[in-house]
Each structure stands twice: as C-alpha cells, then as structure tokens.
Amino acid sequence: MYLVMIQLFKNEYHQDLFMAISSAGIYKTTYCDAVNLDKELEGSMTLFSGLFKSAEEKERYAKIYFCIAEEMEQVDAIVEGFEIAGIDWEKEEIFQISVLPVTKTYGMKSDNS
C-alpha cells in the first residue's frame, strides 16, 4: 500500500489527472488548492526573480492530490494515462508524483471499494 502525493503545476490538466487516477483503479482521492512557492517568491521578492523560470513557464497556483494505491503498478498507470493521451507530461512539467510506503492505516478501508 502506498500514499501517493501529486503536485499538479498546470491546472488545465486537472480533469486529465482525475481520469488517469480513476482509470488506474484508485478511488477516494482528495485534492486541495495550493500556491506554487517558486512562483510566489518570484512575484513578491525581486531578489529571487532570476532564480526561477519565467511567468509563462510556471503557474502561481497548483493542486495537491492525495490517494492510496494498493500496488505500485497503479501509480505507473497514472503516468501511462497521460502518455496514452499524447500529453508530454515531462516536457511540459505538468506534475510531480511522490510515493511513500504505508505500513498501516486507520479509519476508512483503503480497498478502493
């Protein structure tokens, strides 16, 4: 079992990501709106403006998704969903996925039912 955290940097891919997560057989996903700190620093502190990409390359706002995957293959399937759709997620820097092993959960069943 794995905790999957996804940072979505380009909000126009929100629905695509939901479809990829659902197609991977992962349910009970939670997401929240967030601020991309790189972009926030760039806009508010001129000292940092030369250290980050231009405004056209990154958005200020992001979304953070949390879900439980029973198998690592489900996480791979999320990425494959973008590739099947012809979206070059690496080149466009659409998201970053982090995966942590989970040894135990309490509360709702994580059996994706």
Domain ranges of the chain: 2-101
The 10s digit of each residue's pLDDT in 56-65 is 445 678 899 9
Q: How many other C-beta atoms are found inside a 10 Å radius of the C-beta of residue 92? A: 13
Which CATH number fits the domain 2-101, given the four candidates 3.40.50.1970, 3.20.20.140, 3.30.70.2170, 3.30.565.10? 3.30.70.2170
H-run or E-run covering 22: helix 14-23
% of the chain surpassing 70 pLDDT:
76
Please check whether residue 31 is in contact with residue 66, taking contact to mean a CB–CB distance below 8 angstroms: yes
- pLDDT, mean of residues 90-102: 91
The 10s digit of each residue's pLDDT in 3-41 is 999 999 888 999 999 999 999 999 999 999 988 777 666
The 10s digit of each residue's pLDDT in 42-93 is 655 555 555 555 554 456 788 999 999 999 999 999 999 988 888 888 888 8
Cβ-based burial of 87 (10 A; exposed 0-12, middle 13-18, buried ≥19): middle
